[in-house]
Amino acid sequence: MTTQAIEGGKAKRKAAKQAKTDAVARAMALAPDLAARIGSTPKTKFRGDPGVFGRLVEDHDKHRALLAMIEETAGKSPERQRLFEELVKELKAHAAAEEQALWSTVLRDPETTDDARHAIAEHKEIDDMLADLAARDMASPGWLRRFAGLKDEYLHHIREEEQEQFVAAQDHLQPADVRYMHRVFNRRKKEEKAAAKVEKKLKLKG
Ligand SMILES: [Fe+2]
Ligand SMILES: [Fe+2]
């Protein structure tokens, strides 16, 4: 390996580390007294990338931190209420903007239709789980158990996006598309988040 390649690799790792630290710090700003134990994150080449995929991973890392922080809260505390509301709005706005900016285009290419379909179907499942949790008593002991189910589902979703669907999408997109998607995502995420509401609806049994 050339010195240049080694230096390039180092710079990339540094950018990835910084991107993750910044994303976690944004979540922690909402409840500075809580720890965000997100642990090690699954490997992805997109973390710290200046394009749309790096931007999406930045959101994912913030979501990982929010999920970990909610697990540190107890009962119907103001912190749990505030963080859960933020999580719902973040996840809804992220999913909607990701569909509008990325998956709608990826869906139109027969080579990647299944990747987009998979991600969108999981968005619906996650949305149902969020509405179900919102409809239940946060103070009950079962709430955190149900929340752990949502956390597993969401962590699975974003790991698959980062390691499978984003990889397939990038292979089939032109650099100009990716730049355009980055702008669309930023604009749509902001608008979707401002309009996002916490829906309460029991959807799951038991
Ligand atoms: Fe997604
Ligand atoms: Fe995502």
Q: Is the pLDDT of residue 206 over 70?
A: no
Please report whether residue 206 resides in a domain: no
Query: pLDDT at position 197, please?
Result: 96
Q: How many domains does the chain have?
A: 1
Please report whether residue 205 resides in a domain: no
| Tens-digit pLDDT profile for residues 139-195 | 998 999 999 999 999 999 999 999 999 999 999 999 999 999 999 999 999 999 999
Please report whether residue 200 resides in a domain: no
The DSSP element (H or E) to which 124 belongs, if any, is helix 113-134
Alpha carbon of 132 to ligand 2 centroid (Å): 21
Please report whether residue 108 resides in a domain: yes
Contacts 24+ apart (CB under 8 A), 112-115: 112/168, 112/169, 112/172, 115/164, 115/165, 115/168, 115/169
Residue-averaged pLDDT of the chain: 96
CATH number for the domain that contains residue 131: 1.20.120
Integer Rg of the chain from CA: 18
* Residue ranges near ligand 1 (ion) with Cβ within 5 Å: 98
Please report whether residue 171 resides in a domain: yes
| Tens-digit pLDDT profile for residues 59-92 | 999 999 999 999 999 999 999 999 999 999 999 9
Alpha carbon of 123 to ligand 1 centroid (Å): 6
Q: Which ligand is nearest to the CA of 60?
A: 2
Write out the residue range of the structural domain in which residue 113 sits. 3-195
Please report whether residue 103 resides in a domain: yes
Query: pLDDT at position 160, please?
Result: 98
Q: Which ligand is nearest to the CA of 95?
A: 1
Please report whether residue 57 resides in a domain: yes
Please report whether residue 204 resides in a domain: no
